[in-house]
Amino acid sequence: MKTTARILIAAAFALTVSIAAAQNAPPPSEAAKPILEGLRGLRKLSDTDRVGATRHLALAIRNLPAGSEKVTLANILASLSTEGDFGRDTLQAVTDTLADAVNETPAPQEKGMPAEPYLELAQLNRYEHMKVHLKAADYDAALVQVDAVDKIRASADFTLTDIQGNSWTLSSLKGKVVIVNFWATWCPPCRKEMPDLNAFAAQFKDQGLVILAISDEDMATVKPFIDKAGYTYPILLDPSRKINTLYHIDGIPKSFIYNREGKLVAQSIDMRTKGQFLEMLKLAGIQ
């Protein structure tokens, strides 16, 4: 299921429909318009410049009047701020902005489940180890939901075929360290981390590292992209989204690292830098 934040981000970047139209909301306020432009431009910046821009946007959103618009903008910024490593202080500022916005204007439940902002905060807490200063039943429920999904991922197993026709079963790879990476050709953060994954596959092959990259696209889309890029680690196809659904994938890229005993030891909710991946791999015994 695509979350509201992911739909809004896609709308902002595509520029084919307005963010307001994407959620049937009123047009953005005058104060929100420069913030939206800043959000649209974040991925065009260098990582260094993005740190300052993210901090500026967090402060600008914090200064908006309370309301659903503020919550939406804070949630989009949080979703974008996990695309790499922009510093823990920066991510904490973004987390605080979202928590404050939701505290001012609680987000309504969606089909009896905690709304997207609470789930975003729960993931920031669990996977990015951010402090979330928020006392709310929906946030507590989101933490329970995130923990329940983690248990499913920890015990997950699957068999998929790669673009070369080889079959891969996760449970048969015990004794190896495995990265299960969900990605797509259209996803800029996915494309950004793929050269590092390709380098790791070669660098740590002798230590037993196996990377299984799963796309929900078809062969005709994926194979030309991979052939052109020259990536050599296994690219698995899941066009029915059976495995995406098993892992509760609602946004990409996402990566899950299993150690040699098949235990899930690390995971990411978004793009990881080379340094971040290396820290995750250490938890699985690869140095």
Give residue-wise pLDDT tens across range 34-57. 999 999 999 999 999 999 999 999
Superfamily of domain 159-282: Glutaredoxin (3.40.30.10)
pLDDT at 11: 42
Place of tokens 């939406």: 72
pLDDT at 22: 43
Burial per residue of 6-18, b for 16 or more beta-carbon CB atoms within 10 angstroms, e otherwise: bebbebbeeeeee
State both tokens at 8: 């809004």
Strand-pair partners of 161: 167
Give the residue extent of every domain in the chain.
Answer: 4-151, 159-282
pLDDT at 69: 96
Q: How far apart are CA 182 and CA 176, in angstroms?
A: 19
pLDDT at 27: 86
| 153-203: pLDDT as tens digits | 999 999 999 999 999 999 999 999 999 999 999 999 999 999 999 999 999
Spatial contact of 72 and 104, defined as CB atoms under 8 Å apart: no
pLDDT at 3: 42
17's torsion region: left (phi>0), alpha (psi -120 to 50) or beta? beta
Which residues of 141-249 form beta strands (DSSP E)?
Answer: 159-161, 167-169, 177-183, 209-215, 235-237
In whole angstroms, how large is the CA radius of gyration of the chain?
Answer: 19
pLDDT at 87: 96
Spatial contact of 74 and 96, defined as CB atoms under 8 Å apart: no
Residue ranges of the chain whose pLDDT lies below 50: 1-23
Q: Residue 207 burial (CB < 10 Å; 0-12/13-18/19+)? A: middle
The structure's pTM equals: 0.87
